[in-house]
Amino acid sequence: MIFSPDAFTASILTVEGIKDASVLLNGPTGCKIYHSFLSDRHFPRGASHDPMAFQGEFYFGQLRVPSTYLDWEDYVEGSLEKLEKLLSTVAEKNNDLLAVINSPGASLIGDDLETALKKSGVSERCFTVDCAGFSLPAPIGFENTGLALLEHLDLKSLSRKENRVNIIGLSILHKHWEGTVAELKKLLSLLGLEVGAVLFADTSVEELKNSSSAACNIVLFPEYGQKIAEWYRERFEIPSVLSPMGVPVGFDATEQLLREVAKCLGIDPSPALNFVRAARKSSYSKLARYHSFSGLPKGTSFSIRAEASFAYPLALWLYSYLGMVPSAVKTLPGGSPKIEASLRAFLIEKGFENAYDREPEYEKVDIAFADGYTLGLLKGLGCCKAGLEICTPSEGYIDFIPKTYMGVEGTLLLLEKIINGIRSSL
Amino acid sequence: MQIAFYGKGGIGKSTVSANLSAALAESGKRILQVGCDPKSDSTRLLLGGRKIPTVLDYLRKTSPDKQSLEGLLFKGFKGAACVETGGPKPGVGCAGRGILSSFEALARLGIRDVPLDIVLYDVLGDVVCGGFAVPLRREYADAVFLVTSGEFMAIYAANNILRGIKNFEDSAPRVAGIILNSRGLEAEDQRILAFSKAVGLPVVASIPRSEIFSRAEKAGKTLIEAFPESENAEIFRELARHVEKIVKDRSLLYHARPLEDWELEELVLGRSPEDNASIFMQREFEKEAGCESGFEEEAGLEGRTIRTINEPEEYLCETCGACKGEAGDASGSGNLSCSDSPRVKPALGKEKVSVLAPSGSGPAILKAPLYGCAFAGAVTATFQVNGALTVLHGPRSCAHIISDALASSFLRSGSFKKTGVKGLEEQALPGLLSVDMEEEDIIFGGLEKLSCRMEEALASGRKLLFVVSTCPSGIIGDDIEKAVLKMKHLYPKARIFPIPVDGNLTGDFSYGFFEGCKKVAELIDPAVGQEEGLVNIIGERNFSPRDEENFRIIEKLLEGLGLRVNCRFLSRADLSSIRDFKKARFNLLAYNSLENRMLRDYLSEHFGLDFFEHPFPVGFRDSSQWVKALAKSLTLGHNPGPFLEAREQIYRAEISKYSPYLKGKKVLVVSYSQDIGWVLDTVRDLGMELVKVGIRASSFGKDKQLDPLPDDIPLVNNYTDLQRAEDIKCLKPDLVLSGYAPLIPEEDVHCDTIPFSPKVGFMSGLELAKRWSTLLRLPVVEGWKYDGGEEE
Ligand code: SF4
């Protein structure tokens, strides 16, 4: 129950997800303050909040996303003068890759950003996003900005490293992205694979430049990564693996993704699958004990509000693995049409067609899966007994232990939260 | 009456409008000519060839408090007033937005109060965007003249303008007719006649090609002034008489009935729809670019003509100050045309006639940056009205940003339980509805979508709507007031308030918040009478987790004085409490910030309200004064003595619990703001020794009107990190208090933060006292702080 981020926000966080890259916002402070905060929240880089530490003209007390603080006059007269000043200020500070992103307003005045880059002598390490789009879904902003960035880096064809893979389609906007990267690295290492670059979450420009050496690209959120994977295939003939079930949520989807990766690279998936099997076993005993005296979690109801590629494998797993009842499943804008169709077909097939595309606040359920604000609202309205924050915006909980909802670790976390959520709400 | 002149760029609108202005002025009419072209030379012929400072230049160079209409209005021929809006250099910025901003400024500075008979707007080129269409809007133009020649592209532009007018036309007709500014082309008159017939408009003037225009322009004059006896001057006098007739008889105005493109081509070019359009268009373009005989002559003479009006060395390019620019409407053939030259300005010292300098002109004033946007501010205000729906007219980005900012406090407040959410699928946060403007809406205007959204909300039973505009909608010139007006006709019982703050185009967050509050204030019923024992609270913040707690504390204090809160303006306020706002006898300011003071002044002026100036008190001393002053102001006959004594007893008892640990300890205070009286009081009440108070150079809290700190406080302004380090070394404080705590404190001294958003009331300091008493017994550096360094 919150306006989900759109392409503009996603575009900014795509670049901010790179360790040594910075966004320069050509826009007003009204757009800047929020995105500076958001970048810092999703990918913290400084220890202090002291606003006096970032008192430069374009920073407004915030470490990330300096801006040209446009006002009406800049809209009328053009923003290039300020932008050139900002570019030289930032260029002096570090050697980051830079991206000038226009705010929705700035993108209307049609200023020639490229000339400003040339004048400031930063064309080599700076690219521009003239217009991230108006009200377009977040994945589009992520993909378009990602592609512009890759084009700018002008990747060279490198010799293939047979045990190297890239992960594509993970934004720092995604909940627990850090834990997800760690979990995927762990699982892939069981297949003898190393992760080269993660596009675009805590990766470096160097890793991106070397990303054309990967033997395979693993697409995590298809709506965020499919086009980028296609770009790699066309340029460098790098094949990609895309789980038809969406992200690896639940044991089945995790196994399927591992199998697909192994198949693509012609390697044996068993070490990783054995690891999953062991986790299945250990959770079995805990589920069995809980189920034997309560009959639960079978029959408990759930609602979801998330990206389609998350909502589908989650709903499928909750239904098939735990016997839970889908009451409302609402996906965020911009989801993969294929996965959206699979989700719909699944709900219809199982006789829960009413749950498809239903807002969670219209149903009272045992457990809801959504972003932090929606959960707050659902709880306040009495629409769920327990809730699990699976996407952002976050309610603000500060995680110390890296977490994920994907892979083995993620499935175990989901089980723990679901069972205890139900238990505490009885 | 207000008249706009539209036509293709270079067709001679400026010359036509200036001559008409001169003719009208000559006949005794009070005239204002507004040039809406970035070249800013529309009024030159009325001003003896002078160029005047533009509105946009003036706004840029003059601080808002010094701006006045006198700096913008210039007297020309026969007293005709002249204004130039100005605009960006070619190829940058948004000229349309420039027109919008200028018009807003003129309105703000009171142009409507100037006694005028006729206002003429000379508008650049075609209706290329919302900004260029501003003068077409009903509040600006009652009548529109189309200036055209017989060339296809000129007629094409005229037809496009008719389309623009049609978009803005509600019911009354507004087209005054066609003015033919002849190029002397073959069959030109027939073409225009055919066009005028097809669109149902009269040709109100036909101006033949003549070299006297060129001669008059050379003198920087209109024909009326330079060649009053000429035939052409008579044509303008005739046109002026026609305008006067229109003023009296609006039935001389016509509806806009534009042709389809193919109809136009068939009619003017005499070609069938099957013909290859591109060839014709290409030919026309070539012709107009001077590649065909008719125009070659003009193109070749262009430079010469400019020199005849203003010697080129008089005009230096604004960007580099060296290269020469072009100036003015000019035509080598003596005909009317206008060069699309970059904006130019007179070179200093080269002026033959001095130009009135705007007041406050001089070096450009460095403007303070705007903090946040007025859109977010306005929404923050209207969102506080329970049951109201705020429609966000902009792209989803803006909706996302503001909803994220409002969500936490909204969820904390639990007020959604009152408002309910059923049946509003498109809403994100209950109370907010985004229009989600897409590319198409940006290009073609978003009002249709806005209307749909409003209608959906009203049809679902909403009765109170606020509509707030964002930067993109402002830049494209969406007129949300017009859309709201239409909706009001459809839903007469609903209350819909447009708040056209246009993102940050009109101001920052505070300004927007104020604008939002003003709109909400329109819900106040002025007829409601006062009731005893009620007060309103004005200007609470709505972002801090402390807000609700602080309100409860104040509510309790008021209870102690026998008072109840009537309306929280604006914090989670019910419509009924806003309507009955005037029931309260007194209004209490929550915080003494600039926007709250503005709000106070506004409410006092409009509703004749009494205010209690003392903001929510923080700390014991402040709270005692607050209670005493409030009791006195309300002349309740209520003695606050016992209430205060009881509080004092509690406070002293609590303080005495902590003072044994703190008495005699030395404290150094470093703050960004002077708003720390309560912290210093607590330090003293605990018997601690205040060794120094360093105020850092910053703008924090500068908008507050603070009482000066007592004289005996060892105060140092513009305090630096270096001073702090030295003081810690020399003064050896036991405790350093500052806005942000250092991770590894210097010299093993205990450090703590000063709460940014303190608890209000008598007991504020006790939280600090309790904390400090334990803090001094804790390790100076906790173990985790050693883990942040680089690995050895
Ligand atoms: S209204 Fe303007 S400044 Fe405010 S969020 Fe939207 S684009 Fe940014």
Whether B556 is catalytic is no
Fold agreement between B2-301 and B374-521:
yes
Burial of B348 (0-12, 13-18, 19+ CB in 10 A): exposed
Whether B8 is catalytic is yes
List CB contacts of A169: < 8 A, sequence separation 6 or more: A142, A199, A219, A220, A221, A222, A223, A224, A225, A226, A228, A229
Give the pair of three-digit tokens for residue B545.
């987790």
A7, A111, A373 ranked by CB distance to B411: nearest: A373
- CA of A136: how far to CAs of A229, B275, B283, B469, B603, in Å? 21, 40, 40, 19, 41
A48, A52, A105 ranked by CB distance to B503: nearest: A105
CB A314 within 8 A of CB A390: yes
* Matching CATH number, B651-787, of 3.40.50.720, 3.40.50.1980, 1.20.200.10, 3.30.70.120: 3.40.50.1980
Query: Is the bond preceding residue B620 a cis peptide, omega within 30 degrees?
Result: no
Which of B467, B504, B505 to probe ligand 1 with, by most ligand atoms within 8 A of CB? B504
CB B620 within 8 A of CB B683: no
pLDDT at B321: 31
Which of B97, B373, B442, B473 to probe ligand 1 with, by most ligand atoms within 8 A of CB? B373
CA nearest B59: which of A107, A67, A71, A81? Answer: A71
* CA of B428 vs chain A CAs: smallest distance (Å): 4
Q: In B291-373, which residue ranges form alpha helices assigned H by DSSP?
A: 293-309
The DSSP secondary-structure symbol of A220 reads S
Three-state secondary structure call for residue B256: coil
Are A6 and B432 in contact (CB < 8 Å)? no
pLDDT at A146: 98
Distance in Å, CA B497 to ligand 1 centroid:
20
Kindly list the strands in the beta sheet with A384-391, ordered across the sheet, starting from the edge strand earlier in the chain: A325-331, A301-306, A365-371, A384-391
Chain A and chain B share a number of CB contacts under 8 A equal to: 192
CATH superfamily of A7-153: Nitrogenase molybdenum iron protein domain (3.40.50.1980)
- From the alpha carbon of B375, which atom of ligand 1 is closest? 1
Nearest CA in chain B to A359: B425
Give the pair of three-digit tokens for residue A247.
């992200």
Residue tagged active-site, from B126, B142, B441, B727: B126
Q: How many residues does chain B have?
A: 792
Q: Which residues of A touch B421 (CB under 8 A)?
A: 1, 361, 377, 381
Give the pair of three-digit tokens for residue A223.
């709506």
Whether B13 is catalytic is yes
pLDDT at A70: 95
Q: Which residues of A touch B60 (CB under 8 A)?
A: 73
Query: Distance between CA A386 and CA A396 in Å, rounded?
Result: 17
Half-sphere exposure of residue A254: CA atoms within 13 angstroms, side-chain side? 28
CATH topology of domain B374-521: Rossmann fold (3.40.50)
Nearest CA in chain B to A58: B369
Domain at B2-301: CATH architecture = 3-Layer(aba) Sandwich (3.40)
Query: Distance between CA B139 and CA B597 in Å, rounded?
Result: 32
Q: Which residues of B touch A70 (CB under 8 A)?
A: 504
pLDDT at B28: 94
Relative to beta strand B81-84, strand B74-75 is: antiparallel
Residues within 6 Å of ligand 1 by CB = A 28, 30-31, 103-105; B 373, 375-376, 394, 398, 401, 470-471, 503-504
Nearest CA in chain A to B404: A2
Are A3 and B472 in contact (CB < 8 Å)? no
pTM of the model: 0.80
CATH superfamily of B534-616: Nitrogenase molybdenum iron protein domain (3.40.50.1980)
CA nearest B710: which of B739, B672, B685, B676? Answer: B676
Q: For every one of its 426 residues, what pLDDT tens digit does chain A have, with 9 covering 90 and above?
A: 467 899 999 999 999 999 999 999 999 999 999 999 999 999 988 765 555 556 778 988 888 999 999 999 898 888 888 999 999 988 888 889 999 999 999 988 878 888 889 889 999 999 999 889 899 999 999 999 999 999 999 999 999 999 999 999 999 999 999 999 999 999 999 999 999 999 999 999 999 999 999 999 999 999 999 999 999 999 999 999 987 789 999 999 999 999 999 999 999 999 999 999 999 999 999 999 888 888 889 999 999 999 999 999 999 999 999 999 999 999 999 999 999 999 999 999 999 999 999 999 899 999 999 999 999 989 988 999 999 999 999 988 999 999 999 999 999 999 999 999 988 876
Distance in Å, CA B584 to ligand 1 centroid:
36
pLDDT at B713: 78
- From the alpha carbon of B471, which atom of ligand 1 is closest? 2
- From the alpha carbon of B372, which atom of ligand 1 is closest? 3
Kindly list the strands in the beta sheet with A126-129, ordered across the sheet, starting from the edge strand earlier in the chain: A21-26, A97-102, A126-129
- CA of A30: how far to CAs of A10, A23, A37, B202, B682, in Å? 17, 16, 12, 50, 37
Three-state secondary structure call for residue B357: coil
Are A2 and B403 in contact (CB < 8 Å)? yes
Give the pair of three-digit tokens for residue B300.
């070749």
CB B74 within 8 A of CB B52: yes
CA nearest B98: which of B39, B170, B30? Answer: B39
Where do the domains of chain B lie?
2-301, 374-521, 534-616, 651-787
- From the alpha carbon of B394, which atom of ligand 1 is closest? 6
The DSSP secondary-structure symbol of B385 reads B
Distance in Å, CA B545 to ligand 1 centroid:
25
List CB contacts of A301: < 8 A, sequence separation 6 or more: A324, A325, A326, A327, A363, A365, A366, A367
Whether B628 is catalytic is no
* CA of A1 vs chain B CAs: smallest distance (Å): 5
The DSSP secondary-structure symbol of B265 reads I
CB B221 within 8 A of CB B45: yes
Extract the residue ranges of chain B whose pLDDT is less than 70. Answer: 91-94, 125-132, 137-139, 168-170, 271-367, 413-429, 635-637, 698-709, 745, 789-792
A47, A108, A380 ranked by CB distance to B414: nearest: A380
